[in-house]
């Protein structure tokens, strides 16, 4: 019995049930016909209704595509700079204050800067870059810092070229850190993309734009907004599942 209760699958399911019961309790406390804090049943029903149309699925696709664009740029830049910095310790130390600033700066403040510089359609992409780049850079650098010294010396003894040592030895060995950084930060980037769409007031397709649309259409009925938020949560949970699978595949323990 004790082993069953301590099982992670059981605890996760129990935690999920607790979240829904808490959600239901808060909703019922506001009244049976409450639209400001809709119940799980009405939210799920509305989500099914929205997914039956074309607007929300297309908005979801556009938010994911924008996230992928910003994330791809961040990863390419982080892989290049991180590979260089990971091999040159003085450069790594020199760049550390810059990345502390990038990680500490309020993301919302930069939304307005990008809004002026690139417009509402492109601003969310740059916000994703601002968020993901420091995380991915640090994942690459951490991977290089964890490389066994013996293997690096062996590559020098074998007279391997710097390019071959980088592409055949260093990056593959740093791969687990890089992959975990990729998977763990994508969900956060997706959430930030939606937030940026809301703040910038983008009128194009996107979940953030959809939230603004339904909020303006019916200010007293938040059921569509809760439904879109639930959709975003499900997508993020899916990416968290990929993170868990990646950790298991790479042999990383919690």
What is the percentage of the chain residues whose pLDDT exceeds 70? Answer: 85
| DSSP code, position 120 | T
Predicted TM-score of the model (pTM): 0.80
pLDDT at 56 over 90: yes
Contact indicator for 193, 67 with CB cutoff of 8 Å: yes
pLDDT score, position 160: 57
Q: For 161-219, what is each residue's pLDDT tens digit?
A: 666 777 777 777 787 888 888 887 888 899 999 988 888 876 678 999 999 999 888 88
In whole angstroms, what is the distance from residue 204 CA to residue 129 CA? 20
pLDDT score, position 33: 65
Mean pLDDT within 84-91 = 89
Contact indicator for 125, 69 with CB cutoff of 8 Å: yes
Mean pLDDT across the chain, nearest whole number?
Answer: 83
pLDDT at 24 over 70: yes
What is the percentage of the chain residues whose pLDDT exceeds 90? Answer: 35
Q: For 113-137, what is each residue's pLDDT tens digit?
A: 888 888 878 888 999 999 999 999 9
CATH number for the domain running over 54-250: 1.10.3720.10
Angle formed by the axes of helices 55-87 and 40-51, to 10°?
A: 90
pLDDT at 13 over 90: no
pLDDT at 157 over 60: no
Closest CA to 41 of 28, 51, 54, 30: 28
């Amino acid at each position: 019995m004790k082993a069953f209760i301590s099982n992670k699958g059981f605890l996760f399911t129990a935690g999920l049930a607790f979240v829904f019961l808490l959600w239901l309790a808060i909703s019922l406390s506001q009244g049976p016909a409450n639209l400001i804090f809709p119940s799980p049943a009405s939210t799920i029903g509305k989500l099914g209704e929205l997914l039956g149309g074309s607007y929300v699925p297309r908005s979801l696709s556009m938010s994911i595509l924008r996230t992928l664009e910003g994330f791809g740029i961040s990863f390419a830049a982080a892989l290049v700079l991180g590979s260089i910095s990971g091999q040159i310790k003085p450069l790594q130390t020199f760049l550390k204050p810059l990345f502390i600033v990038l990680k500490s700066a309020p993301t919302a403040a930069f939304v307005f800067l990008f809004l002026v510089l690139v417009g509402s359609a492109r601003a969310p992409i740059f916000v994703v870059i601002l968020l993901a780049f420091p995380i991915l850079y640090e994942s690459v650098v951490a991977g290089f810092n964890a490389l066994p010294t013996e293997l690096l010396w062996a590559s020098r003894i074998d007279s391997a070229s710097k390019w071959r040592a980088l592409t055949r030895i260093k990056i593959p060995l740093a791969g687990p850190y890089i992959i975990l950084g990729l998977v763990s930060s994508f969900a956060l980037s997706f959430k930030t993309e939606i937030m940026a769409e809301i703040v910038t007031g983008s009128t194009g397709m996107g979940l953030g734009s959809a939230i603004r649309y339904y909020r303006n259409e019916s200010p007293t009925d938040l059921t569509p907004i809760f439904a879109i938020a639930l959709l975003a949560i499900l997508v993020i949970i899916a990416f968290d599942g990929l993170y868990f699978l990646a950790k298991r595949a790479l042999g990383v323990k919690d």
